[in-house]
Amino acid sequence: MKGYLRADGRKGIRNIILVTYLVECAHHVARAIVTDSPSDNVQLIGFPGCYPNEYSLKIMEGLCTHPNVAGVLMVSLGCEGFNREQLSNTIKASGRPVETLVIQKSGGTKKTIAAGLERVRELVVSAEAVELVPMDISELMVGTICGGSDGTSGIGANPAVGHCFDKLIEDDAVCIFEETGELIGCEQIMAERAITPELGVEIMASVEKAEKYYTKMGYGSFAPGNAEGGLTTQEEKSMGAYAKSGSSKIHGLIKPGDIPSQGGLYLMDVVPDGEPMFGFPNIVDSAEIVEMIASGCHLTLFTTGRGSVVGSAISPVIKVCANPETYENLSDDMDINAGKIIKGEATVSQVGDEIYQMVKQVAQGQQTKSEELGHQEFVLTYKKFEGIGPSCLPTVR
């Protein structure tokens, strides 16, 4: 397969121009630029808050320098707290072109939109000149998430993704699974899979933190829709979510925006550090996808039983549907029918092999259903994280 070679040496499977708003006050102008742009490769992301936040800056830096991104137009109101200078410098240091428009200095809405469209046209031209070069599967980063889980998820789609992950890790690719709040009860078996005892201790602590966080928030990851779909306990849901990780050793524990430097399996801790704070959200699927993209994921495997139609900006989302009834009802949105496992028409390994093949096809340019339908969901809010310690990314292999 081939990838778009970036100046920083990484390779992308898409060639996207981002229009990025830095405060909600600039959202409308940025969206109008994207809407009026004639290119389908121009996409919208942004941070709505005005007060500065280290997490949001780190995520935006990871997104704007992602291998799938060829250039960035930043749209600022002018008085927000977001550190646009640092973001711009980070993008420039990666070798990507970046432009900044400040609405308060550009003459308001109409003039900024007109200027933005001109800047975007220039960025699209520069993106078209990016070189396509050979790309090995070992250079891929793949994330996974489950959403709208039901009683079929943990016995169909999730173990099939786990099988796919095992194959990708054999290829020395990076695979990331996430959401420690949906792995409560599985911490001991994950710790036993850690490549060092010290990493095992960190994994245990991350799940314990998630349990305390959700207890104080008063609302965990077990949603009413999960119960309606046949799940009966948090432990049952956790075991199903855990199945996405496959059977390989766990090579590291990362936090959003941390980028693994070696192939292997990584657990992402998306639960904020410290005490729950006003304005910090409960965990949502679209935000978790964004966090995995910020950590370098070229694409995401999204398993669902009850159904979900979301995609994402920047990186493709492959939908793996566990429930045969849901697949029939939402077939226009689903990429892989893991319901065949439930009906006895295919094994877990056969569907896992099918997912593995689709990962390679999407990496070579094939569009996912969510891409074809124009889904480009994006969520970025306030959070707070402490840096990971040396035990979280051991170099032992």
Whole-number Å distance between alpha carbons of 25 and 155: 45
**Neighbour tally for 141: CB within 10 Å:** 25
Looking at residue 295, its pLDDT comes to: 98
CA distances from 155 to 165, 186, 242, 301, 345 (A): 16, 16, 11, 16, 14
The whole-model pTM stands at: 0.94
The closest alpha carbon to 327, from 341, 319, 339, belongs to: 339
Q: Which DSSP category does 391 fall into?
A: G
pLDDT values of the chain reduced to their tens digit, one per residue, 397 residues: 999 999 999 999 999 999 999 999 999 999 999 999 999 999 999 999 999 999 999 999 999 999 999 999 999 999 999 999 999 999 999 999 999 999 999 999 999 999 999 999 999 999 999 999 999 999 999 999 988 777 788 888 999 999 999 999 999 999 999 988 888 888 999 999 999 999 999 999 999 999 888 888 776 555 555 545 555 555 555 676 788 999 999 999 999 999 999 999 999 999 999 887 766 666 688 999 999 999 999 999 999 988 999 999 999 999 999 999 999 999 999 999 999 999 999 999 999 999 999 999 999 999 999 999 999 999 999 999 999 999 999 975 5
Whole-number Å distance between alpha carbons of 298 and 332: 23
Instruction: Tell me the domain boundaries of the chain.
Output: 2-133, 137-392
Looking at residue 250, its pLDDT comes to: 97
Looking at residue 208, its pLDDT comes to: 94
Looking at residue 357, its pLDDT comes to: 98
3-state secondary structure of 328: helix
Cα dihedral across residues 14, 256, 159, 232: positive or negative: negative
Looking at residue 227, its pLDDT comes to: 47
**Neighbour tally for 301: CB within 10 Å:** 29
Assigned CATH topology for domain 2-133: Rossmann fold (3.40.50)
* Cβ(343)–Cβ(302) below 8 Å: no
* Cβ(66)–Cβ(8) below 8 Å: no
